[in-house]
Structure 1
């Protein structure tokens, strides 16, 4: 009887292994996937200038790609020199721009396309050729056929200067101590401000630390009008990135707030506690009650841009680092965060920032 049982066991095992091999063969066979049609660009010949740096320069559009599995598809753009798209090192030097999930177009403004062209080595003020293709990713990566672009890049001017923002956020209007907005491009200025509870949102924009020449609101709140007595107004309480364009006589205010997050803070890991911007020292600050636990810094209450330290002694935090500052004793702490993010939209966020966490 034992002999028969052994034979049945061996036969069953062979059948199972045979079945598994057939299943594996089916699972490792990938169905061919490709772009159903060509990608399109708004223009194949583009002359870039500093005066149009913030205007739309290129729109790339593409068809939806269908994979065998029904799931979201992530798209990206790749730009490269024509000569670097063949051979064993093809596309290895390409500039890649993440677009998003199930997004079928991407617009690039002049300064962004210019940076790509210059970084890839196109000569300034001379026509040069780049190629662009679309990457689609799900269970694998596939690529569209490339499209050739003829681009004339410009050399970005070294800009200096400031304009000033006296307003109710100061508590008392004072042009001598008002926020200075720094030049980030020709005629374009940027800075950060916090409107605290009890302080008003209105302000003016001055060419110097005086009232000899200033701008107030024009036809709309976002229009600059020379020597207008009508005040501009921020959306309300909170922190903002303010950008002023004297070329177009327009200004914008975008919600922009660094905060503390972690199990040592009142919001835990889910909700940042916003900090206030001290425009005179260019430092983000908060006085907060902490419990024993961890503290990190992140922007606009999400994890897209965040900083963490490698230890609790150096006072340095690193972009997208998993580390956190551990607070061993609960109590009231004064916390500061200082970052050189003058023009993150163009140059990105710096690899490091500095901070302090001091028990009061």
Structure 2
């Protein structure tokens, strides 16, 4: 009898264990899950414009997906090109936007949908095809059937004119008196700045002389991010050429300074009898007057101007009785009396990288 009871107990235990395993298998892997009905969009034909950039352009909604586990379901939306939604690499290039847990709709304003469309490769002002589907995730991911959209994106216009650079180099962050960077092509701006000793390197970039819209640093110091609280930073003290590209949302700084050079700037040394000709005294840029300036103690001797302590770009007077100086001219001004001089240099270099430097510039040399 004892043997019989023991066998019954063992058999019952095995049956219970088997039933438990079968139940768990059905719970986590065997029961299929799908969207109970199709997803919906507010419109399948969408024309985006910059004038309506902040308006709602698309609403995507979907039914609740029920998983066998009672827990919140996370939903996401995917956009892709029609040609990238089939084959072994299907949907790998999709733009995926996480919506949240148990949320059953998502709206997109025009500017956000425009970025999705152009990032995926749709051309501005041309109707193109996108597909959209919804992802539901819990213990696995499942997807709705896709819907095809016809979307016409727009090209964001970039105004010519100026942008502004308030920053610590001013001694105060004053956008009203900040450096103006002028447009040298569509969306590309250029200007010059000097960071004096003891001044900070932080700055912002503003689209007007106010704080209604400005750019700060994004993922890196070189990236522009709209309304970012993080300051950009220049490399340090000295003078720099600044270029800002609003098309690519990038900026660069390059060491850049005009200077005075010649026998009047420094006496000969035992090691270098032409020391004054071989070592420029750098000038500082005044962004309000758009002139380069230096106050220096000069000797009696010659003086002319060159860029970045090199002879690649230099100016000398064809007629030393005038304030006009000429590119690549061998002439020099004669400083007849030693003393302290205030010297300015003004040049209209619109875009040296593409148009070169102008034939003439102007200067003043005044004894203090």
TM over 0.5: yes
1:226 maps onto 2:234 in alignment? no
TM-score relative to the length of structure 2: 0.54
Shift of 1:311: 2.8
1:213 maps onto 2:213 in alignment? yes
Shift of 1:310: 1.9
Please list, as runs of the form range in 1=range in 2, the aligned pairs for 1:334-353 lying within 5 A after superposition. 334-353=342-361
Shift of 1:167: 0.1
1:250 maps onto 2:250 in alignment? yes
CA contact (8 A) 2:193 2:287 kept: yes
Q: Distance in 2 between matches of 1:331 and 1:312?
A: 19
Runs of 4+ in 1 over 6 A off after TM superposition: none
Q: Distance in 1 between matches of 2:187 and 2:318?
A: 39
1:282 maps onto 2:290 in alignment? yes
Shift of 1:342: 2.0
Which residue among 303, 316, 320 is the counterpart of 1:295? 303
Q: Report SS of the residue matched to 2:277.
A: strand
Greater shift after overlay, 206-215 or 307-316? Answer: 307-316
Q: Which digits, 9 at most, give the CA deviation of each residue in 1:189-219, with x for residues without a partner?
A: 0000000101111100000000000000000
1:320 maps onto 2:328 in alignment? yes
1:355 maps onto 2:363 in alignment? yes
Q: Distance in 2 between matches of 1:311 and 1:203?
A: 41
Please list, as runs of the form range in 1=range in 2, the aligned pairs for 1:97-136 lying within 5 A after superposition. none
1:43 corresponds to: none
Which residue among 316, 327, 351 is the counterpart of 1:308? 316
TM-score relative to the length of structure 1: 0.56
CA contact (8 A) 1:192 1:277 kept: yes
Shift of 1:160: 3.4
CA contact (8 A) 2:203 2:233 kept: yes
Q: Distance in 2 between matches of 1:190 and 1:321?
A: 27
Q: Distance in 2 between matches of 1:348 and 1:247?
A: 23
Q: Report SS of the residue matched to 2:177.
A: coil
The unaligned stretches of length 5 or more in structure 1 are: 1-158
Shift of 1:313: 1.7
CA contact (8 A) 1:201 1:234 kept: yes
Give the aligned CA root-mean-square deviation in angstroms. Answer: 1.2
Q: Distance in 2 between matches of 1:346 and 1:310?
A: 26
1:179 corresponds to: 179
CA contact (8 A) 1:336 1:357 kept: yes
**In the comparison of the two structures, how many residue pairs are matched?**
203
Q: Distance in 2 between matches of 1:160 and 1:229?
A: 25
CA contact (8 A) 1:167 1:203 kept: yes
Which residue among 330, 338, 342 is the counterpart of 1:330? 338
CA contact (8 A) 1:191 1:342 kept: no
